[in-house]
Amino acid sequence: MRTKIAGIGHYVPEQVVTNQDLEKLMDTTDDWITERTGIKERRFGSRQKETTTTMGAEAASRAIEDAGISKEEVDFIIFATLSPDYFFPGCGVLVQRELGISNTEVGALDIRNQCSGFVYGLSVADQFVRSGTYKNVLLIGAEMHSMGLDFSTRGRDVSVIFGDGAGAVVLQPTEDENSGILTSHLHSDGRHAEELAFISPGCHGGYHGQPEQYGFSDDPYDTIFITQKMLDEAMIFPNMNGRHVFKFAVQKFPEVIMEALKTAGYQPSDIDLLIPHQANLRISQFVQKVLKLRDDQVYNNIQKYGNTTAASIPLALSEARDKGLVKSGDLICLAAFGSGFTWGASLLKW
Ligand code: COA
């Protein structure tokens, strides 16, 4: 028994934000962003109408319809995001409510693996399906980054990269030997945790050795989740050591893709379509070059949507499928690298 993607869908908000729009907010240029990241524009959700959950629910509805099932047939929900509506509860239960799934037999799990959240979620879903536990697992990756970025010049290295969007799949068991997930490989290295991170507000206290840097006191009754110092000094945004991330990404992407190919008995030339997490076009191009893949073997859409973290792979896969670039029997490779660091790859037959 294998796990197949039985339905897929994506959603992006209407509002297009171009590099020229960002030029008006911060000291940046279209040339800088295009040359370093490949991004020309991204989508931002409507702050009053959309959240990570609502975008995820829209993508999920499309995936459910594409699978030809009813929402009440979903028996497990997995939601991957780094920009949840609430600190808790997670978006898994919120999307259950948003979709109007009243069946309480359904479990809801939240995945916090940032850019590799979808690949991690796929592997978790695969275990549940292959073990016979669930028949229709709904896996969603969604992000509302625009709510938490620093749009001043101070935050320009991070804020020009990220965009909002959602993608979802329905996973079902199949006995067809020529379709489904062949192998998944997951990795992590927590030594790089703060190199791409959103640590404050948070409950880290003095754990990182510099409590005073964040304005944490020693008083056990002092609320320290968010301090005045964090607000005054604009510490409440994500931070990234771009060069460090780039260096590891270009090493780990090819490594984990080769690991998956080798396990399943394939070579890079056998890949019909590689969908790398849309971190940065330069990273994808580097991976393509190392693996000696033709242009038609790699799908990128970061130019239009920016980096949508947990949403990027299902969003790209869904768009590629809609364009007719994914056909029955194709060998598809999904690969991700990101914050943690965590990385992984899945190989599947469509
Ligand atoms: N516009 C204009 N200038 C910018 C800028 C922006 N948006 N962001 C940073 N700069 C400036 C820097 O301040 C720096 O100026 P200085 O030389 O005067 O100090 C200069 O550009 C170079 O900065 P640097 O960070 O060294 O650039 P880089 O070549 O490493 O490119 C990234 C920056 C972020 C594009 C690059 O490191 C990268 O792609 N990293 C991987 C990021 C990624 O993929 N993240 C997602 C992982 S899932």
10-residue block means of pLDDT along the chain (350 residues)? Answer: 97 98 98 98 96 98 98 97 97 98 96 97 98 98 97 96 98 94 98 94 79 83 85 92 97 98 98 98 97 98 98 98 96 98 98
pLDDT of res. 216: 84
Ligand 1 atom closest to residue 243's alpha carbon, by position in its atom list: 37
Please state, in angstroms and rounded to a whole number, the distance separating the CA atoms of residues 230 and 234: 6
Q: How far is CA 109 from CA 12, 54, 171, 256, 333, in A?
A: 23, 17, 15, 25, 24
Specify the DSSP element, H or E, that contains 139: strand 137-143
Cβ of residue 242 lying under 6 Å from some atom of ligand 1: yes
What's the gap in Å between 321 CA and the centre of ligand 1?
A: 32
pLDDT of res. 220: 80
Cβ of residue 280 lying under 6 Å from some atom of ligand 1: yes
Domains defined along the chain, listed by start: 2-174 (3.40.47.10), 180-193+240-349 (3.40.47.10)
Cβ of residue 241 lying under 6 Å from some atom of ligand 1: no
Please state, in angstroms and rounded to a whole number, the distance separating the CA atoms of residues 272 and 332: 6
Catalytic status, residue 113: no
pLDDT of res. 317: 98
Rg (CA), the chain: 20
pLDDT of res. 82: 97
Catalytic residue among 277, 300, 301, 333: 277
Angle, alpha carbons 179-300-306 (nearest 5°) = 125
107-111, strands of its sheet edge to edge? 2-11, 165-174, 137-143, 76-80, 107-111
pLDDT of res. 225: 86
Please state, in angstroms and rounded to a whole number, the distance separating the CA atoms of residues 108 and 150: 31
What's the gap in Å between 147 CA and the centre of ligand 1?
A: 21
Please state, in angstroms and rounded to a whole number, the distance separating the CA atoms of residues 24 and 155: 14
Angle, alpha carbons 196-122-56 (nearest 5°) = 75
Catalytic status, residue 307: yes
pLDDT of res. 214: 86
Query: Which runs of consecutive H residues, i.e. helices, occur in 100-241?
Result: 117-130, 156-159, 211-214, 228-232
Cβ of residue 37 lying under 6 Å from some atom of ligand 1: yes
Catalytic status, residue 208: no
Cβ of residue 338 lying under 6 Å from some atom of ligand 1: yes
Residues with Cβ within 8 Å of 314's Cβ and at least 6 positions away in sequence, in order, are 8, 10, 59, 118, 139, 140, 141, 166, 167, 168, 169
pLDDT of res. 203: 86
Q: Which of 176, 179, 211, 242 is nearest to 32 (CA)?
A: 242
pLDDT of res. 224: 78
Kindly report whether the peptide bond that precedes residue 201 is cis, defined as omega within 30 degrees of 0. Answer: yes
Q: What is the DSSP string of 13-73?
A: -S-EEEHHHHHTTSS--HHHHHHHH---EEE---TTT--HHHHHHHHHHHHHHHHT--GGG
CB 308 within 8 A of CB 143: yes
Ligand 1 atom closest to residue 337's alpha carbon, by position in its atom list: 48
**Atom 23 of ligand 1, nearest CA residue:** 157
What's the gap in Å between 272 CA and the centre of ligand 1?
A: 32
Angle, alpha carbons 19-239-311 (nearest 5°) = 65
